[in-house]
């Protein structure tokens, strides 16, 4: 591929490990969320490109060397990729900031460095993973072998793009799968740059493809009979549709979907520390985080104090150019997203919640900005309490006692994340056991990329990270023997 120093202009797709001209002439123009000016273009793949990528991946899986290499050799190649990637963390962070407006303070650590760590942690998990084991069965000793699941289609959204590709691509590659990555049309550049790095690492033909495009490209991948497994992150609505197609074809599927997480502030919590913790837990990445703690549950006894402290913290946040290191809140990814968040703010007011700070007016003449916005006097049946807003908007709900707090936290279609803030961590653990979410924080909410992550209820199926993240890319084969098995 030709020199492309800023990684913002691609004429070709990465199909089967080679740069190829797309079948169709259609292009995607990426618009800067800060300036509203175009920043570059990529091809929009067509059905023929999807088919070419799947055919290459199928051939590489069925007949190529990759799944047949020794595990150590595959891990060595992934480690080469991790080493190359590690040299580009700052550049990758800046590219993601340009594409989707994540403040640089977040995109360094929470996007690019996080993605690099995911590669190393997946390699570490693979070292201890039980690829083969022996078990005493009723008929004799059984040999259990974990085989690669096959050709994987990895479909991701735009909010933390590299951190969503890595927990799919890397464990799949280590397991011996071949992979086709489909990024969101808002963030194609980071994925195509990753393709360049994959090319430099030198994977065998067909093992990795990156094809850019919108929902129709994702849909074509999901429907393609050559794919064995879809690994998807995105909205619950799309996840439901993908699961239906996969169900019809009995294709493996894992889903990381939306959330509407509740932060329960108990009466014994230190409010200053709690609000400092919520600054990140609720508002990271401009509030565009599936795990954002956006329902703030507080008792009537401490309501005013918490609302005042939240309002002070949120008004002090610096809103502006995401490439400025001092910025806390950048623009939302797209005008469509800004309008969606503004619509939620209007609906909160219409439904009778009280706007404490912020509002629907954009603070800038240019760029898709929304001010940090705080609602209180809300009830859990309002749209701002039930639906995922995906912007810097928090809703305070009041509870009478802890049972009611837990009931409100659980009264949600989602079950992705949650947190409790208390002076008594043992009690925090008791609260965690009552809340139906895949991850939980006591006096914090951060995602630990070495522990299993995924959702209860409509927040998904399956887990990423740790050995459980590898489980998603293997099929378990039991081998029985009429005679003695050789030692392992
Ligand atoms: P989305 O579901 O609209 O799109 C996600 C991806 O799916 C994109 O690449 C899109 O092009 C593709 N797509 C859309 N329709 C498709 C279809 N019918 N078939 C196949 N692919 C299709 O998601 P979004 O609204 O852009 O992203 C935000 C959502 O992602 C939020 O709901 C957020 O909570 C969720 N998310 C979840 C996690 C998690 O780990 N649980 C992490 C980040 C984001």
CA-213 nearest atom, ligand 1: 11
CA dihedral 431, 433, 435, 441 (to 10 degrees): 70
Tokens, residue 386: 């039930």
Strand, coil or helix: 368: coil
441 CB contacts (<8 Å, ≥6 apart)? 281, 417, 418, 419, 420
**Tokens 């740069």 belong to which residue?**
19
To test the pocket of ligand 1, the residue of 110, 157, 260, 454 to mutate (highest count of ligand atoms within 8 Å of its CB) is 157
Residues with CB under 6 A from ligand 1: 155-159, 164, 182, 184, 214-215, 218-219, 222, 233-235, 238, 241-242, 256-259, 290, 388, 390, 416, 455, 460
**Please, what sign has the CA dihedral across residues 296, 297, 303, 306?**
negative
- Please say whether the beta carbons of 463 and 452 come within 8 A: yes
Chain position carrying tokens 């959204």: 157
pLDDT reported for residue 250: 97
* Distant-in-sequence, close-in-space partners of 330: CB < 8 Å, separation ≥ 6: 33, 34, 97, 101, 102, 103, 286, 319, 320, 321, 322, 369
Pairwise CA distance, residues 122 & 424, whole Å? 34
What pLDDT is recorded for position 2?
Answer: 59
CA 183 – ligand 1 centroid, Å: 10
Residue 334 CA to ligand 1 centre (angstroms): 14
218's tokens: 């994702």
Residue partners of 1: CB distance under 8 A and separation at least 6: 10, 12, 19, 196, 199
Decide if 481 contacts 141 (C-beta within 8 A). yes
Cα 402 to ligand 1 centre (Å): 34
Backbone φ and ψ for 259, nearest 5 degrees, come out as -155, 165
DSSP, collapsed to helix, strand or coil, labels residue 187 as coil
pLDDT score, position 3: 66
User: Which of 192, 234, 438 for mutating ligand 1's site (highest number of atoms within 8 Å of CB)?
Assistant: 234
Measured by CA distance, the residue closest to atom 18 of ligand 1 is 219
Rounded distance from Cα 55 to ligand 1 centre (Å): 25
Looking from the CA of residue 454, the nearest atom of ligand 1 is: 41
Residue nearest atom 13 of ligand 1, based on CA coordinates: 215
Q: Please state, in angstroms and rounded to a whole number, the distance separating the CA atoms of residues 258 and 387.
A: 9
Query: What burial letters (b/e) apply to 130-164, b meaning 16+ CB within 10 Å?
Result: eeeeeeeeeeeebbeebebbbbbbbbbbbbbbbbb
C-alpha 199/C-alpha 462 separation (Å) is 30
Q: What angle do CA 149, 185, 179 make, to 5 degrees?
A: 15
User: Closest Cα to atom 12, ligand 1: which residue?
Assistant: 215
Q: DSSP string spanning 285-299? A: GGG--TT-EEEEEEE
Shortest-distance atom of ligand 1 to CA 235: 32
Identify the pLDDT of residue 76. Answer: 98
CB within 8 A of 465, min separation 6: which ones? 118, 121, 122, 125, 167, 448, 449, 450, 451, 452, 453
List the Cα angle 27/29/34 in 5-degree steps: 170
Match 């008792």 to its residue by tokens: 299
pLDDT value of position 1: 65
Closest residue by Cα to residue 476 from 75, 67, 72, 143: 143
Give the Å distances, CA to CA, from 311 to 33, 344, 414. Answer: 26, 19, 26
- Single out the residue of 44, 100, 54 nearest to residue 221, CA to CA: 54
**Annotation says 400 is catalytic:** no
Q: Which of 186, 196, 219, 256 is catalytic?
A: 256
- CA distances (Å), 274 to each of 185, 309, 423, 447, in order? 36, 9, 10, 17
Give per-10-residue mean pLDDT for the chain (488 aa): 81 97 95 97 97 98 98 98 98 98 96 98 98 95 97 98 98 99 98 98 98 98 98 98 98 98 98 98 98 98 98 98 98 98 98 98 94 98 98 98 98 98 98 98 97 98 98 98 93
Q: What are the φ/ψ torsions at residue 390 (nearest 5 degrees)?
A: 65, 55
pLDDT at 5: 80
pLDDT of residue 24: 87
* C-alpha torsion sign, points 96, 257, 346, 419: negative
Cβ count near 400 (within 10 Å): 10
Compute, in angstroms, the gap from residue 389 CA to the centroid of ligand 1: 14
Task: Give the nearest ligand 1 atom to 464 CA.
Answer: 40
How many Å lie between the centroid of ligand 1 and the Cα of residue 239?
Answer: 7
Q: What residue owns the CA closest to ligand 1's atom 35? A: 234
């Amino acid at each position: 591929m030709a020199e492309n120093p800023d990684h913002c202009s691609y004429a070709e797709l990465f199909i089967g490990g080679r740069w190829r001209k797309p079948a169709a002439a259609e292009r995607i123009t990426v618009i800067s969320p800060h300036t509203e000016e175009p920043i570059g273009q990529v091809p929009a793949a067509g059905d023929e490109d999807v088919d070419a990528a799947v055919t290459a991946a199928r051939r590489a899986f069925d007949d190529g060397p990759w799944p047949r290499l020794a595990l150590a050799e595959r891990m060595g190649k992934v480690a080469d990729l991790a080493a190359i990637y590690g040299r580009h963390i700052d550049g990758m962070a800046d590219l993601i900031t340009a594409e989707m407006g994540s403040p640089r303070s977040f995109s360094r650590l929470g996007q690019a460095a996080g993605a690099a760590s995911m590669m190393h942690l997946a390699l570490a998990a693979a070292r201890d993973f039980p690829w083969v084991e022996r078990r005493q069965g009723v008929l004799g000793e059984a040999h259990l072998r974990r085989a690669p699941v096959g050709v994987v289609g990895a479909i991701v959204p735009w909010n933390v793009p590299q951190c969503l590709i890595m927990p799919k691509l890397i464990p799949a590659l280590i397991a011996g799968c071949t992979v086709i990555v489909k990024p969101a049309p808002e963030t194609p550049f980071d994925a195509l740059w990753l393709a360049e790095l994959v090319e430099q690492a030198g994977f065998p033909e067909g093992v990795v493809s990156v094809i850019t495009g919108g929902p129709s490209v994702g849909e074509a991948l999901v429907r393609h009979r050559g794919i064995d497994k879809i690994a998807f992150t995105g909205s619950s609505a799309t996840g439901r549709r993908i699961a239906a197609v996969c169900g019809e074809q009995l294709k493996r599927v894992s889903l990381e979907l939306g959330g509407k997480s509740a932060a329960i502030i108990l009466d014994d919590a230190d409010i200053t520390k709690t609000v400092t913790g919520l600054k990140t837990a609720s508002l990271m990445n401009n509030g565009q985080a599936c795990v954002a703690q956006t329902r703030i549950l507080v008792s009537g006894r401490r309501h005013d104090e918490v609302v005042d402290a939240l309002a002070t913290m949120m008004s002090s946040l610096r809103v502006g150019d995401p490439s400025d290191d001092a910025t806390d809140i950048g623009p939302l990814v797209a005008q469509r997203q800004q309008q969606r968040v503004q619509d939620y703010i209007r609906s909160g007011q219409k439904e009778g919640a009280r706007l404490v700070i912020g509002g629907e007016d954009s603070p800038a003449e240019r760029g898709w900005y929304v001010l940090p916005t705080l609602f209180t006097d809300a009830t859990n049946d309002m749209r701002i309490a039930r639906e995922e807003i995906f912007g810097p908007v928090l809703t305070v709900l009041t509870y009478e006692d802890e049972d009611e707090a837990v009931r409100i936290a659980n009264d949600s279609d989602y079950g992705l994340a949650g947190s409790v803030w208390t002076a008594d961590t043992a009690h925090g653990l008791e609260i965690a056991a009552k809340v139906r979410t895949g991850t939980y924080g006591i006096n914090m909410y951060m995602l630990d990329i070495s522990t299993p992550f995924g959702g209860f209820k409509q927040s998904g199926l399956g887990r990423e990270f740790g050995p459980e993240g590898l489980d998603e890319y293997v099929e378990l084969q039991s081998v029985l023997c009429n005679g003695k098995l050789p030692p392992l």
